[in-house]
Homo-oligomer: A and B are copies of this chain.
Amino acid sequence: MQTYDSTARTTPSRYRERARYDRETVHGILDEALICHVGYVRSDRQVVLPTLHVRLGEILYLHGSTGSGPMVTAAGSPDGLPVCVTVTLVDGLVLARSAMHHSLEYRSVVAMGNARLVTDPDEKLRALAAVLDHVAPGRSADSRPPNARELAATALLALDLIEVSAKVRTGGPMDDADDIGLPYWAGVVPLTVTAGTPVPADDLEAGVPVPSYLAPYRRT
């Protein structure tokens, strides 16, 4: 099993037994999550923003507008923009008898490093198509590709997956032995992201069918 090297920064302070460094787990979480949260420093202040991402091999691409904060800051960072990208999937509520042992079932990934602005036109086109296919597999071939003006307005950051770790919590509550008999319900409430029926745009021409990748739409 191929694994990422753990570092001081990717070793959790708490619940180290939940840490995972194998590529299969990390890739699976990054691929399933629709969005990520990217942290970076701008004017000496940290900022956390949600954005779309896609993984291609060992590169994590982050999508944004050319004029957005991370992209402008990256353009002024010749060594790349230091970022922390975090992806979190919440799989359930864990209810214990004790307040203390309440938890969540979750799978998260934290990736750190210096992200570079993508400037190669071929890489940019490929990564933008991949972002679209990350949202809905097959969509890049089923929509109008970006033109030169649109490409100029769109930017991508690329982060090599080197300093990266996952954290996974599964299973039910772990109550103290003394608490087992207390008269409180304990267990897990599973949570999933569910897609509803696709709603056509008001101006959609008659006869355009809902594509197969949307009906049904699933993240897993």
Which A residues form the contact surface with B (CB < 8 A)? 9, 13-14, 34-35, 37-41, 45-50, 52, 65, 67-69, 72, 82-86, 88, 90, 92-93, 95-100, 102, 104, 106, 108, 110, 112, 128-129, 132, 135-136, 139-140, 142-146, 150, 153-154, 172-173, 175, 179-205, 208-211, 214, 217
Contact = CB atoms under 8 A, between A and B. Distances in A.
B128 A99 contact: yes
Contacts of A41: 41, 46
5 contacts: A37-B86, A41-B41, A41-B46, A99-B144, A175-B201
Given A45-B84, A99-B146, A189-B214, A50 B184 contact: no
Given A189-B196, A196-B191, A201-B187, A95 B140 contact: no
